[in-house]
Amino acid sequence: MALTIYSTLTNSKQEFIPQEAGKISMYVCGMTVYDYCHLGHARVLVAFDVITKYLRSSGFDVNYVRNITDIDDKIINRANENGEKFNALTERFIGHMHEDEKALGVARPDMEPRATNHIGDIIAMTEVLIEKGYAYACDNGDVYYRVAKFEGYGKLSNKNPDELLAGARIETGDIKEDPRDFALWKSAKADDVSWPSPWGPGRPGWHIECSAMTKCCVGDTFDIHGGGPDLPFPHHENEIAQSEAANDKEFARYWMHAGAVRVDGEKMSKSLGNFFTIREILDKYHREVVRYVLVRSHYRSAINYSEENLKTAKVELDRLYTGLRGYDDVEVLALDQLPQGNRYVKAFTEAMDDDFNTALAISVLFESVRELNSATANKAADASEQAQILKSLGSVLGLLAENVEDYMQAGLSDAGLSADAIEALIAERIQSKKDKNFQRADEIRDELKEQGVVLEDGAGGTTWRRD
């Protein structure tokens, strides 16, 4: 089965054929860094991390680029509120973003361009657009893109330019030729953050930043452009208009957008009090449980975040980890190194080749763990190989990377009994059994259960996990 990708540009699944055989260039719109990353950011981070992991594990050479917007109205306003320089603010939150992605098991991109490092490229592209008649400079130093000039405007978001004009508001004193036109360069006001340009001091508009960075990092035409659910219009639509007008070439060949995150069925919003940062969630739940919630749904579907879903995810992930007890030492292999005739490898690959269907891929993991449990119970000769397949398939999704007991025993640093206290009570319970003091042994089990610790007695002794 060939790899197919649902492209937002065509609203259909297409067979994926990279420009260059065996190599993939992918650019994903990243964060605007003025605050902590939230759950919606986590969705995009994890979705494209899984996509990258799968492509690489399948043998592709992937150049994954994710940009940083480090100059923006929100950044300037927040820095002014804090009484600090804008770049001190952005540097701090870039550091926090890297901490959050590491905590979620998200690998860093190959390139992470920042808008402020590409001011010269932005100015150069703006000059080309002016020269070609796709942009115009105003007397006040602003530069705008001439939307009516670009024939294909609206092809990504399926918006009719005439309808956009009818719905556009014309502001008093607006210097634009057309209400639909958008800023490529914004003239500086007094004490604004600014850079010199042919039109006077100013700073770039948001959309032109990505057009300049894609050109530098992945070329005029590249394979995959990705981002969050709110980006097709206007951001990605404007990127297409800028880049294709400036470069006279097709921009991105496939467009991928992650689904939205809802909280208890409602849109995540600070005003509703249901807005969660990544670090707030990771203070309550193990990182793989959070990641599991994000990958068990197809990347294009909306995710409903709730306490109940997180608890269910913990139970399901526990089942996979329980099957791997005793197999911590098995080597994790890339997908293309696993036995291709194995039915689980084949089913997993087919699921992921179908537009990265992680929901179906996870169901394959549960089929695999059922067979592993049977093989372990019967001491089958191929049990270790089955464990290796399960763990290797899980790693493509960024799951099953922990030592089993470390995962099972993981809990909040300030929650319940410490691991040493639990081990001491288990030792006391073992001794109580030896002394035939079964009442005390039962009391210890009950005490631990009340503290959220589950004991599991087996042939190899007693193990425990946090519930």
Cα gap 326→376, rounded to integer Å: 9
pLDDT at 172: 45
Q: Domain 19-261: give its CATH superfamily.
A: HUPs (3.40.50.620)
pLDDT at 438: 72
Instruction: Please check if 216 is assigned to a binding site.
Output: no
Contact at 8 Å (CB) between 194 and 201? yes
Please state the domain extents for the chain.
19-261, 308-408, 411-466
pLDDT tens per residue, range 107-119: 999 999 999 999 9
Instruction: Please check if 138 is assigned to a binding site.
Output: no
The tokens describing 184, both together, are 């490529």
Cα gap 160→158, rounded to integer Å: 7
pLDDT at 384: 97
Instruction: Please check if 270 is assigned to a binding site.
Output: yes
**Residue entry with tokens 């269910």:** 312
pLDDT at 273: 74
Burial of 37 (0-12, 13-18, 19+ CB in 10 A): buried
For the domain covering 308-408, report its CATH number. Answer: 1.20.120.640
Task: Give the mean pLDDT per block of 10 residues along the chain (467 residues).
Answer: 94 97 98 95 97 97 98 94 97 98 97 98 98 97 97 92 64 79 93 94 97 98 97 97 98 97 81 84 93 96 91 93 95 96 97 98 97 95 97 98 90 55 72 75 74 72 74
Instruction: Please check if 239 is assigned to a binding site.
Output: yes
Instruction: Report the greatest alpha carbon distance in the chain.
Output: 93
pLDDT at 272: 73
- The pTM score is 0.88
The tokens describing 385, both together, are 């190989």
pLDDT at 413: 42
